[in-house]
Structure 1
Amino acid sequence: MRYSISQVAKASGVSARMLRHYDAIGLLTPAFVAANGYRWYGRLELLRLQRILLLRRLGLGLAEIGAVLAEQVGEAAALREQLAQLKDERRRLDRVITTVEATIADLADARIDDPERFFAGLRTDGAAMRRTYRETFGEGAAEAFDTAEAAQDGLTTADYEHAAAQGAALFRRLADVMRSGAAPEDPAALDAVADHHASVSHFWQPTAEAYAALGGLYRTDPRQRDLAARADPELPAWLARAIEAYARERLVPPVGKA
């Protein structure tokens, strides 16, 4: 029996255009092509098309299917490779899902239900932090704190919620590095602290000594300690050491250079 390309397309659900493409790439050649250009398929071609469709459903690409059908590789080997790729994709999606879930949680935790009370508390906390900065780092740091506060004029409740979520995400990334087993002096830890330093440097360019002292606040200042401890109770002490290491390793100029 011979079947026209339209009959094969109707029976298989594969368009005539795709069947012609399969022919063009050597994946499925018709049994013969008539003088008028019509393609005709026989039983062997239909069996081959069945295998192609099965392998397509299993996720193999056309090049991989061609290799399988040419017996360059076995079907089992091709499917094992496809399985490995699917597992890699699943791990990638799991990481994406975890990140999205964490972001949702950060935004939920940062939600301000009573804006009036929040902004009153913000002013009180801000005054306390200014005193801490002045006592720890001097008047220059206190002025930088004032500059940062002035830049926040006009921010809405949603803006503060977003900033709080970003801060929580930063502490979570730092905690992930800590839990990975990285010591505070390890390059991975210093790379993570670079994001913290960048956020501080947006309004204030602390010296190495001042930045190390700022890290010490995660040990001694209840407000700073609580911010980090929300990500992990062990983070404040680890972060203080990591910031001190960052100041020592990446902020102090090499000997002989200013």
Structure 2
Amino acid sequence: MRFSITQVAKLSGVSARMLRHYDAIGLLPPGSVAANGYRWYGRAELLRLHRILVLRRLGLGLTRITEILSEQADEATALRGHLAELTDERRRLDRIIATVEETIADLDGARIPDPERFFAALREDRAAIRNSLEESFGDAGLAAFDAAGAAQEGLTTADYEHAAAQGAALFRRLAEVSRKTAPEEPEALDAVAEHYASLRAYWQPTPEAYAALGQLYLTDPRQRAMAEQADPDLPAWLAAALPAYARHRLG
């Protein structure tokens, strides 16, 4: 028994156009072609089409299916390889989903319900931070603080919310590294590089100033609290990691 391309399309749900494409790429040639150009398919071609459809439903591309069928490769082996690829992709997507969920949580947690009160508190905090920097760094600390303040002029409530969310994510990444890596190790220095880069948006610290900044995570209540939200042990790790970064990457 043989079937026309129209009949095969109706039986399989594969359009005649796609069947012609399968023929063109050598995936499913018809059993015979009449003088008038009509394609005819027999039992062997229908069985091959069934294999194609199974592999397509499992997510394999046409190129890979062509290789499997032309080589008469073991489908189970091919599918195990495909399963490994899918598993890797699932892990990648899981990581992306987790990052998106964390970002949403960070943004929700950074919402400022009362901007007027927020900016009033911010002015008070800045005065306290300025005094703390003066005690730690002297005139250089005051100059750095004033330069950072000038860079932040004109920031909106949304800008502060975004910065807070970014900061929370940064401390979370640093905390993850701190749990498995000593401050002097290259992986730790790579992680601290992100902290240094975020700071340079508002301040260009000398190696000495950046090293000293690490102590603020122990002595300044505000800086310590931000780090402790990510991990209670993070302030002590930062106090060692920032000087290590200054020595190895800045000095």
TM range (shorter): over 0.9
Per-residue CA deviation, residues 193-251 of structure 1 (Å, 9 max, x unaligned), is: 11111122223222211111101111111111111111111111111111110011111
Aligned partner of 1:121: which letter? A
Shift of 1:151: 2.7
Determine if the alignment matches structure 1 residue 205 to structure 2 residue 204.
Answer: yes
Contact persistence 1:212–1:247 (CA under 8 A): yes
Unaligned runs of 5+ in 2: none
Whichever residue aligns with residue 121 of structure 2, its letter is G
Name 2:47's counterpart in structure 1. Answer: 47
Matched with 1:192 is 191
TM-score by length of 2: 0.96
Runs of 4+ more than 4 Å apart: none
- Once residues 112 and 27 of structure 2 are traced to their aligned partners in structure 1, the CA distance between those partners, rounded to angstroms, is 61
Supply the distance in 1 between the matched residues of 2:138 and 2:91 (Cα, whole angstroms).
Answer: 49
Deviations 1:43-71 (A, max 9, x none): 21111101110111011122222233234
Give me the whole-angstrom Cα distance separating, in 2, the residues matched to 1:199 and 1:73. Answer: 53
Cα separation, 2, equivalents of 1:76 and 1:96: 30
Aligned partner of 2:18 in structure 1 is 18
8 Å Cα contact 2:181-2:188 kept in structure 1:
yes
Residue in 2 aligned with 1:139? 139
Q: Distance in 2 between matches of 1:217 and 1:100?
A: 30
RMSD: 1.3
Match for residue 239 of structure 1? Answer: 238
Q: Give the Å deviation of 1:139.
A: 1.3
Corresponding position of 2:157: 157
How far apart, in 1, do the equivalents of 2:64 and 2:200 lie?
52
Mapped contact 1:178–1:189 kept (Cα < 8 A): yes
- On the 8 A contact 1:141/1:204 being kept in 2, the answer is no
Give 1:127's aligned amino acid.
A
Instruction: Answer whether contact 1:212 1:244 (CA < 8 A) is retained.
Output: yes
Alignment of 1:217-256 (within 5 A): 217-252=216-251
| In structure 2, C-alpha distance between the alignment counterparts of 1:200 and 1:70, rounded to whole Å | 58
Q: Deviations over 1:82-139 (max 9, x none)?
A: 1101100100000001100110111111111122221111111100101111111121
Q: Which consecutive unaligned segments of at least 5 residues does structure 1 have?
A: 253-258
Residues 152 and 202 of structure 2 are in contact (CA less than 8 Å); yes or no, is this contact kept in structure 1? Answer: no
Task: Tell me, in whole angstroms, the C-alpha distance in 2 between the residues paired with 1:117 and 1:235.
Answer: 29
Secondary structure of the corresponding residue to residue 230 of structure 1: helix
**Rounded Cα–Cα distance in structure 1 between residues aligned with 2:192 and 2:45:** 62
User: How many aligned residue pairs are there?
Assistant: 251
Aligned to 1:83: 83
Q: CA deviation at 1:182?
A: 1.3
Shift of 1:72: 4.2
Counterpart CA distance in 1 for 2:18 and 2:175 is 52
Amino acid at match of 2:88: D
Partners in 2 of 1:69 and 1:202 — Cα distance? 57
- For residue 55 of structure 1, what is the amino acid of its counterpart? L
CA distance in 1, matches of 2:153, 2:203: 18
CA distance in 2: counterparts of 1:175 and 1:99, whole angstroms = 15
Answering whether residue 61 of structure 2 is matched by residue 61 of structure 1, we say: yes
Which range moved further: 66-75 or 51-60?
Answer: 66-75
Deviation at residue 73 of structure 1 after TM alignment? 2.1
Name the % identity.
Answer: 72
Q: State the TM-score, normalizing by the size of structure 1.
A: 0.93
- Equivalent position SS for 1:37: coil
Distance in 2, Cα, partners of 1:211 & 1:138: 14
